[in-house]
Structure 1
Amino acid sequence: MGKIRISLLAKELGVKSNLLIDRCHEKGLTHITHHANTLIPEQAEMIRQLFKPSAKEVVSAKEASKVKEPIVLHETEHKKDDKTVLQTGSGIKVVQPTKIVRIPKSPPQPQRIVKVPPTKTFWKKRPQAVAPAKRRDHTAEVIEIKKPAVKEKETKIVMEPPITVKDLSSKLGIRANEIITKLLLEHNVRSTINQILTEEIVQLLGIEYGVEIEIKKKEIAAERDFIAEQVSTRIEDLVYRAPIVTFLGHVDHGKTSLLDSIRQTDVAADEVGGITQHIGAYKVEMNGKHVVFLDTPGHEAFTAMRARGANITDVVVLVVAADDGVMPQTEEALNHAKAANVPIVVALNKIDKPSANPLRVKQQLANLELIPEEWGGKTQFVETSAVTKKGITALLERLLLESEILELKANPRNPARGVVLEAHLSEGRGVVANVLIQDGSLRQGDIVLCGKTYGRARLITNDRGIEVQEAGPSTPVSVSDFSEVPEAGDKFYVVGDIQKAREIALERQKKERETSLAKYQHVTLDSLYSKIAEGKVKEIKVILKADYKGSVEVLKKALEELSTSEIKVKILHCGVGGITESDVLLADASDAIVIGFYVTTEDKARILAEDKGVDIRLYKIIYDATNEIKAAMEGMLEPESKEVVLGQVEIRHVYRISKFGNVAGCYVKTGKITRNSSVRLIRDNIIIYDGKLESLKIVKDDVKEVRAGFECGLIVANYNDIKTGDIVEAYEVQKVARFLTV
């Protein structure tokens, strides 16, 4: 048996280590001062003997354990403040170290005295009276601690736009500061915690963090679902529908008068009141077929609807006065029609006037890429007169022929779908929306979802103010009872459940509030490079306004000549005069830049441009405009990579070093070699390796470069097959800016 520590011996004897150390000192073992000290077996046994009770004490303790009667102290030794009543039956044992307890026995036997050592004093609480069956066995009880389940990292998440840095941080479980830093350092995107991110950036971050992010647009999915449930595409259900025609042209060229002649009304004589004027759409019958005419209040409404994606027009009639010719608003109207990508029919109006010159007008329009059919073009020209009714029938026949070519069809059995032309709040009827049905049939009582509003079609009136129970495709009607006033250009649908209509409308309102800070960013000269890099722009669209016609032509030609095979400059519209709201609306719808030369911007147009994010640039020198556009385009051109040879180095000796591999002792013959330059290893005029340097030294010192006439040592990175006589050619690739070539 080996040595035993004081701490282990104390534990064995059931006493404290300090008491054991004191007993060791009493026995002369003064070297024992710490509980980690050890005793030899003989010394340990000596200490054990000190704590063993005598034989009498053992016998007395056994007899005391058999006593069932209460044990009390002798009357002469009883003290008032001492707790001396001991009830062994109930488990109480209160013993004072210096007190003598007499154990009563049977009368013939003498009393025995038990003296309890101080170290054996124990205190126990009185146990509560608990049924034995309910007592808990603490020695047998095992408490099982379950560890919380570790949540597995998600590999795919679904998010709805708009997505902010905060939303992405919550979904990915990554701190927002880390995402913001990553965007700035790796993607050159400055953002805040509430910044709305593009879908491309969100998906790219998901790939980098190892999570597939699916962007789900809830509103579009809901709209697609309820449309798919109702729309029938069976060929046998499709029927002919009337073409929708819009009249555009310059002021006072006879658009309204021509419409009056067609629909046999006199709106031009009285521009006040009447449901027909408010609806702005009219249906005309000819030979059993119908044509619907839109009377838009200027080009702004036409462009606003197209900007909202409501391309409801099938054919555009460009009205040009034969005696006046092409005017600024005529060109503007033509550009609107081209941007909408719809067929154009030219109506040469006022042909009855003596000063009419249709040939001159055709030549002017031919210069604007509207070439008549008789000249080998594709544009139909019709000579009309609102006064003599000349050409009205021919114009209608042309429109019907155009509709047959387009093969316009719809299904009247489907629930109605269409577009809001305009809406207003009526004092007697509440919210009234003037709509044009494009497909299906609208009936009284139908539940209508329209943009961010919904309602029930309680009252339907046609273009002449007559109440109707049902309206089919290509029919303009007025519908009452919406929850809110819809916007022009909003699409409307008939749905079967008003609860579904309410949910979708509320969801759209919520999305509009969330995306109010994430408006569409139009192209500007400053953002042109990033747009091209993303592949979103292949041409620069420009709206040009100048003070004189000559300035317009010169600037237009100068800008168009900047076009290259990689990027084009396209003039959408050019005219004389200041920049108006119409110009801003056209730029907003077409994502164009507005350039003004020696003109100003109207206050309303400037406010609208700020709201829409349209870029307006004003110049007083033509070359400033062309140079700025040219600089923006040159900044977008990919720079050319040009290889420049820095120098040649001859390997004169190869040293084999186990730690570094083959080290070349060299002599710089021409030029220089730098530490960061690329190198080619040439042997017998053949390039055998192309790579980088791992080390460049002169003697034992690292250097950045070594020039001709000096010796150096170098190591070629990841290549050891070098030989004496090899040539190391140092070179670098330089990026050279490209310039536009005329």
Structure 2
Amino acid sequence: MTKMRVYKLAQEFGITSKELIEKLQQLGINVINHMSTLEEDDVKVVMELFKESNNNEKINEKEEEAMQKIKIADKVVVQDLAKLLQKTPSELITKLIQLGIMATINQEIDFDIAEIVALEFGYEVEKEDTKEEQEDILIPEDKPEDLLPRPPIVTVMGHVDHGKTSLLDAIRKTNVTAKEAGGITQHIGASEVHINGKKIVFLDTPGHEAFTSMRARGAQVTDISIIVVAADDGIMPQTIEAINHSRSANVPIIVAINKIDKPNINIDRVKQELADQGLLVEEWGGDVIAVPVSALKGENIDTLLEMVLLVAEIEELKANPNRKAVGTVIEAQLDKGRGPVATVLVQNGTLKIGDSVVVGACYGKVRAMINYMGKRLKEAGPSTPVEILGLSEVPQSGDQLIVVENDKIARSIAENRKEKLREEQMKASTKVSLDDLFKQMEKGEIKDLNIVVKGDVQGSVQAVKQSLEKLSNNEVAVKVIHAGVGAITESDVMLASASNAIIIGFNVRPVTSAQSLAQKENVDIRTYRIIYKAIEDVQAAMKGMLDPEYEEQELGKAEVRAVFRISGAGTVAGCYVTNGKITRSAKVRLVRDGVVIHEGELSSLKRFKDDVKEVTQGYECGISIENFNDIKEGDIIEAYILKEIDRK
């Protein structure tokens, strides 16, 4: 090795002359500039130094290469982390125990703990940015040119015994009714019918309750609603409910006037009753299609189906089959042999075997698809009902099914949704109530005040309905979405929940199951005995000027089992306390078939022959009501107290 100039040696090492001069000065070798010449011994020293430095850098690079990188989310299951680290779960659990962390194979551990464990096994950890994936799935909109016509989805509704299932039976040429207990539809399924080379999908719902409970969960499945009316019976309370439920969902209505094979029928009377409900048939200059049919004899069934296809054509129902599937769960159950089974109606795209899906707060991979005939399918296009297997748990009816990229994303989204559901259950959803109506109006949250009216007689119901609708102003339109006669039922509460409505009862009471459902769904139920009081309350609520009121606090209920008429003492009811307690000082309300007959006070409360202050649930007692003797067996006596409260 000979003498060498500084700039030549710098080129040899791939560094600048300035950097080399600094190195040389650190070694105590004095040089003037890059043209200085280094002696042979100095060159040797510098060469040895740089060789050692390069070796160290290479070793460090190798060490860095040896430490593999893995990506994990905020939380990771022990079993999944073991797979990523290429270790057995037992090895990983042992390492966690050494670190003082007790965890099972299916338990989740935080990112910080996972990072420590991974470093122990020679892995570097990066946090996976899955926030966007976890939060929810954005369903892309379809381009108009990609959309193709799809079959209509039809729901059959109407009054009990008017022939809903028999009509479906005649349409499908099967015998569903015979299989069902007492001829009542026991399940929610779906089936397909083919006519003139076109397909129609029928949802076999047990009436409008399922139709509305699904809508309450945000699932708008139905395209067309067929309302069945018996020609010999006419419009009945449940028919009116079905009409109101369909209207509330903005679904086209076709009326099937059934049982035309019976003698003494009057189809014109049915049409007149439909007109009274705001459904003017085409023959009378309206836009509602009415088809007289006989489910028993199969008359005009084809005409009805042709009308369904005609309405579907007018509605221009379209979907894009060439995309990832989106659908809705119609029903779901846990099968002993097959695990969670869900009946899904594919609404857009094509669902295929092996697809990773998110269904509400569940996830899974489609292992098998079975159609309504029991045949296995490999794929299902728009408006196709199929049973799917392979979900992690049983979803709720009305849950949306969405196909995602892979199992990991599906699981991540489902777990995130579960967490949100827990939070929502803690907070409980806020529905509109008279108390906070004005506040919501001021914020601009309410434009329509939806009301469900129930009363004891039709005249009162119509009077309340008309009076309430006159209260509409520039800020809020008051809409009575349903008005009916009889007790407030679960169906009324579900309709109110789906439409964010309040329920006003005039001279009627909610049944026990409806009361508990209203509390669960946060539906405001108000009951009145005087029409103007109901009107005043709604009017005052709209102005934010509700007066302090007396809140009713229910104490208990007693059922009248026997009635005794005692001379000089009047009528004594032999009662059994079914709920809560009856106290001597309480106010009472006598309810017969859901209608309030009388409100007053107790004149006596006895256990055997003794006067008592209170009788609790499960015990019998004798009750007489002050200045009232018209008590009958089966009546319900409700005891309550009035507690003064201030409006919020």
TM-score normalised over the length of structure 1: 0.54
Aligned residue in 1 for 2:238: 329
For 2:351, the aligned partner's letter is: L
Show the counterpart of 1:629.
Answer: 538
1:317 maps onto 2:226 in alignment: yes
Equivalent in 345, 354, 367 of residue 458 of structure 1:
367
Pairing of 1:290-301 with structure 2 (within 5 A): 290-301=199-210
SS class of match (2:294): coil
Specify the alignment match of 1:254 in structure 2.
Answer: 163
Greater C-alpha Rg? 1
Correspondence for 1:511: 420
Which of 382, 389, 396 is the aligned partner of 1:473? 382
Q: Tell me, in whole angstroms, the C-alpha distance in 2 between the residues paired with 1:219 and 1:580.
A: 41
| Greater strand proportion | 2
Shift of 1:565: 4.2
- Do the aligned partners of 1:279 and 1:463 also contact (CA within 8 Å) in 2? no
Taking the aligned partners of 2:202 and 2:333, their CA distance within structure 1 comes to: 21
Q: Which amino acid aligns with 1:301?
A: A
User: Which of 440, 444, 463 is the aligned partner of 1:531?
Assistant: 440
Cα shift at 1:316 = 0.6
Q: Percent identity?
A: 54
Contact 1:528 1:636 in 2 (8 A): no
* Contact 2:188–2:206 (Cα < 8 Å) also in 1: no
The match for 1:500 is: 409
Query: Residues 238, 541 of structure 1: CA spacing in aligned structure 2 closer, same or farther, 3 A cutoff?
Result: closer
Alignment of 1:53-72 (within 5 A): none
The alpha carbon displacement at 1:426 in A equals 0.2
| Distance in 2, Cα, partners of 1:569 & 1:472 | 41
Name the residue aligned to 2:178. 269
TM superposition shift of 1:589: 0.7
Match of 1:560 in 2: 469
Question: 1:541 aligns to what SS in structure 2?
Answer: strand
Is 1:233 the counterpart of 2:147? The answer is no
Q: Distance between the aligned counterparts of 1:288 and 1:301, measured in 2? A: 30
Q: How does 1:471-620 map to 2 (within 5 A)?
A: 471-620=380-529
Unaligned runs of 5+ in 1: 1-215, 638-742
Map of 2:324 onto structure 1: 415
8 Å Cα contact 1:538-1:566 kept in structure 2:
yes
Q: CA deviation at 1:288?
A: 0.7
- SS state at 1:268 partner: helix
After superposition, residues 71-110 of structure 1 pair within 5 angstroms as none
**Unpaired segments ≥5 residues, structure 2:** 1-129, 547-648
2:370–2:386 contact (8 Å) kept in structure 1: yes
Contact 2:340 2:391 in 1 (8 A): yes
8 Å contact kept, 1:279–1:476: no
Question: Given the alignment of the two structures, is residue 396 of structure 1 paired with residue 396 of structure 2, yes or no?
Answer: no
**Aligned match of 1:223:** 137
CA contact (8 A) 1:349 1:385 kept: yes
Paired AA for residue 457 in structure 1: V
> 1:272–1:411: structure 2 CA closer, same or farther, 3 Å change rule?
farther
Aligned-partner Cα distance in 2 for 1:551–1:254: 30
Task: Report deviation, 1:611.
Answer: 1.2
Q: Which residue of 1 aligns with 2:272?
A: 363
* Shift in Å, 1:220: 8.7
Per-residue deviation at 1:564? 3.5
Q: Structure 1 residues 597, 463: CA separation in 2 closer, same or farther (over 3 Å shift)?
A: same
Q: Which amino acid aligns with 1:363?
A: Q
Partner amino acid, structure 1, of 2:394: V
CA contact (8 A) 2:133 2:409 kept: no
Give the corresponding residue for 1:441: 350
User: In 2, distance between residues paired with 1:407 and 1:232?
Assistant: 15
Matched residue SS, 1:318: strand
CA offsets, 1:425-483, max 9 Å, x none?
00000000011011122222221211111111112110122222222111111001211
The answer on whether the counterparts of 2:158 and 2:227 sit within 8 Å (CA) in structure 1 is yes
1:118-197 maps to which residues of 2 (within 5 A)? none
8 Å contact from structure 1 (residues 337, 344) kept in 2: yes
Change (3 A) 1:460 1:486: same
Counterpart residue identity of residue 574, structure 1: A
For residues 277 and 217 of structure 1, what CA distance do their matches in structure 2 show? 42
- Give the count of matched residue pairs: 416
- Report the Cα distance in structure 2 between the residues aligned to 1:450 and 1:478, rounded to whole angstroms: 13
- What is the aligned partner in structure 1 of residue 563 from structure 2? none
Structure 1: how far apart are the matches of 2:290 and 2:265? 15
**Residue aligned with 1:458, SS:** strand
Asked if structure 2 preserves the Cα contact closer than 8 Å seen for 1:579 and 1:601, the reply is: yes
Q: What is the rounded CA distance, in whole Å, between the counterparts of 1:473 and 1:551 in structure 2? A: 46
Structure 2 partner of 1:381: 290
Deviation of 1:620 after TM superposition, in Å, equals 1.4
**Aligned equivalents of 1:552, 1:218: Cα separation in 2:** 51
- Whole-angstrom CA distance in 1 between matches of 2:162 and 2:206: 15
Distance 1:219 1:354, change over 3 A: farther
Question: In the alignment, is the contact (CA less than 8 A) between 2:188 and 2:205 conserved in 1?
Answer: no
Structure 2: distance between partners of 1:540 and 1:217 = 37
Shift of 1:223: 0.3
The whole-number CA distance in structure 2 between the counterparts of 1:264 and 1:223 is 41
Q: TM-score, normalised by structure 2?
A: 0.62
Structure 2 SS opposite 1:459: strand
Deviation at 1:218, TM superposition (A): 5.4
Does 457-466 or 284-293 show the bigger shift? Answer: 457-466
CA distance in 2, matches of 1:578, 1:241: 41
User: d(CA) in 1 for partners of 2:133 and 2:249?
Assistant: 26
CA shift, 1:576, in A, is 1.1
Asked if the contact 1:446–1:456 (Cα under 8 Å) also holds between the matched residues in 2, the reply is: yes
Equivalent-residue separation in structure 2 for 1:355 and 1:627 (angstroms): 47
Q: Secondary structure at the match of 2:171?
A: helix
Cα deviations by residue, 1:305-353 (Å, 9 ceiling, x for unpaired): 1112211111111111111111111111111001101111111111121
CA separation of 1:516 and 1:620: change in aligned 2, threshold 3 A: same
Residue 279 of structure 1 contacts residue 477 of structure 1 at CA under 8 Å; is this kept in 2?
no
Secondary structure of 2:498's partner? helix
Q: 1:507 to 1:254 in 2, by over 3 A?
A: same
Provide the secondary structure at the position in 2 that maps to 1:354. coil
Over 3 Å counting, the alpha-carbon distance change for 1:256 and 1:223 in structure 2 is: same
Judge conservation of contact 2:134–2:412 (CA < 8 Å) in 1: no
The 1:313–1:252 alpha-carbon spacing in structure 2 relative to 1, beyond 3 Å, is same
- Which residue is 1:281 aligned to? 190
| Partners of 1:263 and 1:434 in 2: CA distance | 19
Residue 194 (structure 1) aligns with: none
| Other-structure match for 1:118 | none
- Structure 2 CA distance for aligned equivalents of residues 400 and 345 of structure 1: 11
How far apart are 1:561 and its partner, in Å? 2.8
Using a 3 Å threshold, how does the CA distance of structure 1 residues 622 and 448 change in structure 2: closer, same or farther?
A: same
